[in-house]
């Protein structure tokens, strides 16, 4: 979400949170529960913005963490924006394993950026992964481990409808035309919490913050400026 933060920085005070197991945070945390991720966000808010409410913005798993944070501590959250996020979970037990297997298949460390791009491809998501690689003495490696990602996503796949239906924080749910969720899944999210605002990006994938960047920033900025 770095490009998103950069696009907003001139108009808003933006904080980026490296979620545990990602980025420059703890690489192999002992606790990968949803509660642990939520407590991390709460700690950041209370430490850096004491006495203030924030707008939480997240994509995919980040949206799920943001939603659960808003549910647990509505006193800290003014508004919530979820891009390609959902709360229904998944009944496919193999989903998390397949993701873990994909990350485990990366031939890391990569010798250089060219070798990383040859394997990962030319997509905006691939470029984001490449930009985030860590340089080591042996080469370039991701800032996460496959098994940690698998365990993290497995927790995200548990349904959280109770928290969603009880959420009191004003929320914008944004979906991309070629995103992860079916029309029925998108409709159900709104129907089960009718006060939720919805916006649709008429292009882009699950990673619309990368491959439909301009539309995403316009939708997000318009919503933020309503305050």
Q: Which residues pair with 197 in a beta bridge?
A: 172
What is the model's pTM? 0.94
| Mean per-residue pLDDT of the chain | 95
Neighbours of 76 (CB within 10 A): 19
pLDDT confidence band for 168 (50 / 70 / 90): very high
Q: Tell me the three state secondary structure of residue 206.
A: coil
Maximum mean pLDDT: which of 7-11, 17-21, 80-84: 80-84
Backbone angles phi, psi at 113, to 5 degrees: -60, -40
Q: Which letter does DSSP use for residue 184 in this model?
A: H
pLDDT confidence band for 109 (50 / 70 / 90): very high
């Amino acid at each position: 979400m770095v490009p998103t933060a950069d696009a907003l920085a001139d108009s808003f005070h933006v904080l980026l949170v490296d979620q545990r197991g990602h980025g420059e945070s703890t690489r192999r945390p002992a606790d990968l529960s949803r509660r642990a991720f939520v407590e991390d966000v709460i700690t950041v808010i209370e430490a850096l913005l004491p006495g203030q409410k924030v707008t939480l913005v997240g994509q995919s798993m980040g949206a799920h963490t943001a939603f659960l944070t808003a549910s647990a501590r509505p006193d800290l959250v003014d508004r919530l924006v979820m891009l390609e996020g959902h709360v229904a979970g998944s009944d496919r037990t193999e989903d998390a394993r397949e993701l873990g297997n994909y990350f485990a298949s990366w031939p890391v460390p990569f010798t250089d950026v060219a070798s990383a791009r040859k394997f990962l491809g030319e997509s905006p998501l691939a470029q984001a992964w490449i930009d985030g690689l860590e340089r080591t003495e042996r080469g370039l490696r991701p800032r996460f481990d496959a098994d940690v990602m698998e365990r993290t996503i497995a927790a995200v796949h548990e349904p959280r409808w109770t928290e969603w239906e009880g959420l009191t924080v004003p929320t914008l749910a944004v979906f991309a035309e070629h995103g992860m969720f079916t029309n029925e899944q998108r409709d159900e999210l709104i129907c089960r919490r009718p006060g939720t605002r919805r916006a649709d990006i008429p292009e882009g994938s699950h990673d619309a913050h990368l491959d439909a960047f301009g539309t995403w920033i316009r939708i997000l900025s318009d919503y933020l400026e309503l305050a």
